[in-house]
Structure 1
Amino acid sequence: MGQDMARRDLVRDRFDRAAGYERAATVQRVAAQRLFEKLQDRLGERKPVRILELGCGTGFLTEKLRRAWPEAEIVATDIAPHMLERARQRAGEAICYRVMDAANPDISGPFDLICGNLVFQWLEQPQEAMETLEGLLAPAGVLALSTLMQGTFQEWRHACAMEAEGSGTPDYPSTIQIQRWQVPLLSGMWDSEACVQTFDNGRAFLRHLKETGASLPRAGYHPMSSAALMRSLARFEAQGSVITWRLAYGCFAKAPRAGVFVTGTDTGVGKTFVSACLVKAWSALYWKPLQSGLAEEAGDTPTILSLTHCNPVDCLPPAGAFQAPLSPEAAARAEGVSIDPASLTLRMQAPERPMVVEGAGGLMVPATDTVMMCDLAAQWGLPVVLVARSGLGTLNHTLLSLEALRRRGIAVAGVVLNGPPNEENRETIADKGQVRILAEIPFQPDVSAKSVEQIAAQLPSWAEVSDTSR
């Protein structure tokens, strides 16, 4: 901890002394604009009421936030007091400016938007920082970040590689490392881009680092000799004095309400039984948005009522119910009707109480002629509980389903395995899928209210599932 604090103080001092930041920070301006566009897309039409900015620097992003949402309460923070004063001069007095370490935010939420431009590369524990910030988000709140990643300054590192000391530039995180900076219950994903900047010569590049406060070498680095530095500068200039910046952007959103979206790796895998167990364990609301196959069965909503003995008002009516045992889209078409996408809005009754939303079939089942079940999961923003078989064939189905969810930036609360316990499959899914196994449910010869009650007693509580620090 002492070493972390000492380095934090060094970072603060470098930025406090970065008098040339405004003139030199070209890429920082580009990153601020890109991040602002991405967070705007994530917010959509919503206007944030309360905003927290981390590492505001001289206010490139702060100014954009103020102009976009002049009525919002904006708290702009930075570890360097002099940077805050420059931000004040740029963005004006209508903002609350505060000295704060992004790694240890001593501030009370909730915030509708938390954002930070090119600050996370300076944090020792970025994953832990994200988990802390998640706790400060309001329902449906957005966390938007940018950071430098592996490949930044690669030309300078190559020019220095022949010297014993090498380059002192930090070891920025790789794509794989950044992709793992995730909070399980936040939906969203990281993407990246490269920016290329040409300098007059090598010394101009080193001066640029100093002017922007980014000249602090990685921990434990011993500066190279003057002769080695001259040779490195010559090699860098022979390559054209070009520098590549690799930038990663992450935009994540908190669920708009408490609850999960239950889906399966395929039809008949046990979604309704698992949904019943979750409803019982959490005293949750239940909603089956689209129901088909009513010509052959009563439907999942009556089944949940029978298995859980919950209050009928806690089982919300479907948005669409159809006779044919087909996908909702095909079943509706067979009846000569179409499903109105406007009816498929997330129900917000008692938003602080968990709601179990059960999908139809698997992720790639058509809900309408233009929307798949996975699209609904993404639209609603609820973390997914994936129900899978425990035995032979489950690895491919389960890992493919998890990949499909992650590619769409859909949060995954965990996997429930149905069937005889299989330790090998359990460990493989947890490891390769980077996912929590919420429960293993053995085969139930008698699916009844009693068996639901027994399994529900073994499931993690809603507090345990919604605790992102686990």
Structure 2
Amino acid sequence: MTRSLSGGVSQQSGARQARIRAHFDHAQGYDGAATLQRVAARALAGDLARSMADRAEKPLRVLEIGCGTGLLTAQLCGLWPQAHILATDYAPRMLERVRERLGVRVETRLMDAASPDVHGPFDVICGNLVLQWLDNPAEALHRLAALLAPGGVLAVSTLRAGTFAEWQAACAAEGQISATPHYPDMAELARWVPYPCQGLWRTERSVQSFAAGLDFVRHLKATGANTPRVGVAAMGAGVLRRVAARFEEAGASVTWELAYGCFRRPSRAGVFVTGTDTGVGKTLVSACLVRRWQALYWKPLQSGLADEEGDTPTIARLAGAHVRCLPPAGAYQASLSPEAAARAEGAAINPASLALPMEEPEQPLVVEGAGGLMVPVTDEIMMIDLAQRWGLPVVLVARSGLGTLNHTLLSLEALRVRGIAVAGVVLNGPPNPENSRTIAHKGQVRVLADIPHEAHLDATVVAELAQRLPLWADIAGG
């Protein structure tokens, strides 16, 4: 998780950004040449429409970065005619073309996507094929995500590794280095997902053919995409013709590897506490979090009441006098999974009853799951499905000792496959620095705290243990 961001811009980077702006400003043939940009804009608009389909209220404030001549902007106007759309770009001439295309329907503003100088919150923030022109896309996405309203969506498209592979091969055959930008692979893209948002990247491939080798070069110039990357000089005319001839001999086609990311900000403040297994200390950690943050507490599903008092009264006892616990959606006697415990009483869990509480949405809510991620809730729903539905970042509780590495790393992998944000891991038990380091490194995750075993637990002990955990401002992520 990134907690501090550098705003400095090197002289070399600043000069390149100025060249990029100039090239886009002078891209007179943009609309005629921007075939793939148009394809990507339609695809991104489709992703946005699907991501917002489950919302009762339509978006009212939309921010677009790198709007170009308005290919995506026009799609946004069609999707949400009621929305105020602020279309921004780094190139003044591009904004003029948006105004020519859409008139007063949208507001336009000159803005660098890497340093947004607008005030949120926005229901939607989006940008089509702009990230590859930014010096630090991960930082830019983090800053943009901080401008989202609760439940808001950040949707972007970019080019990924493998793009223009045919042109790069032709350059290499002539002993040249292609000046096309660096394009990230999927592992790098995964690190761009802005915490605490939830979401995944999807990919698409498209092939574009040209009549002649030099037509590809003219295409890049026509769309303003002919700025060489930092540290690579543009080729001279003679070398360029030889590379173009090689490219033409190979078929004069290029592959575009597209990636689309759609990331949703949590609808309220809070975390979902789950464990690598039953009995790993979720309730103790939840009590510590509630005490540390003065948070609300919700145990949606409680089983095993025939053998214990239940987690909600335990939290009320351990977290302090002023803790507020919301009532469970279902409480059952048998020490079984929620699904099996409900069935043993002739009941069934209604998924509609498991809506995330929205009381005091700016106050952190600690939601404690039952067992681990793959515990059944109904015939069709597991705990991990609820974590994904609620959209809160996850605090994963694990044992500190032998066997924890496999369980913890598998749980982290399961969360990331679903695009669920992870706030961090809490290790419960005797201190084990080696396991803590391994989980942090192999799991690419923050270990929030090590909570030791205590022979006796009461509100005083929990208050002391809570001091080991980060403050809510450090977890909230902007």
Aligned position for 1:344? 354
What do the CA deviations read for 1:58-117 (whole angstroms, capped 9, x no partner)? Answer: 111111111111111110000011111111222331211001000011111111111010
Q: CA deviation at 1:290?
A: 0.5
Partner deviation per Cα, 1:392-420 (whole Å, 9 max, x = no partner): 11111111100100110111111101111
Paired residues of 2:214 and 2:241 also in contact (CA < 8 A): no
Query: Counterpart amino acid of 1:184?
Result: Y
What TM-score comes out, normalization by structure 2 length?
0.96
Confirm or deny: 8 A CA contact 1:165 1:223 kept in the other structure: no
Is residue 467 of structure 2 the alignment partner of residue 454 of structure 1? no
Q: Is 2:412 the counterpart of 1:405?
A: no
Instruction: Assess if the C-alpha contact under 8 Å between 1:18 and 1:210 holds in 2.
Output: yes
Identity %: 62
For the 8 Å contact 2:195–2:477, the answer to whether it is kept is: no
The answer to whether residue 212 in structure 2 is matched with residue 212 in structure 1 is no
Matches within 5 A, 1:69-468: 69-311=80-322, 314-468=324-478
Q: Which amino acid aligns with 1:27?
A: L
Q: Using structure 1 for the length normalisation, give the TM-score.
A: 0.97
343-352 or 181-190, larger mean C-alpha shift: 181-190
Structure 2: state its 5+ residue gaps. Answer: 1-8
Measure, in 2, the Cα distance between the counterparts of 1:282 and 1:220: 48
Q: Could you tell which deviates more after superposition, 86-95 or 220-229?
A: 220-229
**What amino acid is the match of 1:379?**
R
Q: Give, in whole Å, the separation in 2 of the partners of 1:86 and 1:15.
A: 12
> Retained in 1: the 8 A contact 2:13–2:230?
no
Q: Distance in 1 between matches of 2:345 and 2:146?
A: 46
CA apart distance, 1:368 = 1.3
* CA–CA distance in structure 2, aligned partners of residues 72 and 375 of structure 1: 31
In structure 2, what is the Cα distance between the partners aligned to 1:409 and 1:187? Answer: 6
Q: Which amino acid aligns with 1:44?
A: A
Number of residues paired by the alignment? Answer: 467
**Is the contact made by 1:202 and 1:236 (CA closer than 8 Å) also made in structure 2?**
yes
- Pairwise CA distance, 1:184: 2.5
CA distance in 2 between counterparts of 1:221 and 1:274 reads: 52
Alpha-carbon distance in structure 1 between the residues aligned to 2:237 and 2:107? 45
Q: Following the alignment from structure 2 to structure 1, what is the Cα–Cα distance between the partners of residues 392 and 237? A: 57
**1:390 alignment partner AA:** S
Where does 1:59-70 land on structure 2 (aligned, <5 Å)? Answer: 59-70=70-81
CA distance in 2, matches of 1:39, 1:113: 9
Give the match for residue 32 of structure 1: 41
Q: Does the 8 Å CA contact 1:55/1:79 hold for their aligned counterparts?
A: yes
Q: Secondary structure at the match of 1:391?
A: coil
Q: Deviation of residue 231 (structure 1)? A: 2.5
What secondary structure sits across from 2:357 in the alignment?
coil
Greater shift in the superposed pair: 182-191 or 276-285? 182-191
1:5 equivalenced with 2:2 (yes/no)? no
Q: Any idea what the Cα deviations from partners look like across 1:351-390, whole Å, max 9, x if unmatched?
A: 0000100000000101111111001011011000000011
- Tell me how far apart the structure 2 counterparts of residues 260 and 222 of structure 1 sit (CA, whole Å): 48
Aligned residue for 1:93, secondary structure, equals helix
Between 187-196 and 112-121, report the one with greater CA deviation. Answer: 187-196
C-alpha root-mean-square deviation of aligned residues, in Å?
1.2
- Compare 184-193 and 266-275 and name the one that shifted more: 184-193
SS of alignment partner, residue 123 of structure 2: strand
Structure 1: tracts of 5 or more residues without a match: none
Answer whether contact 1:287 1:301 (CA < 8 A) is retained: yes
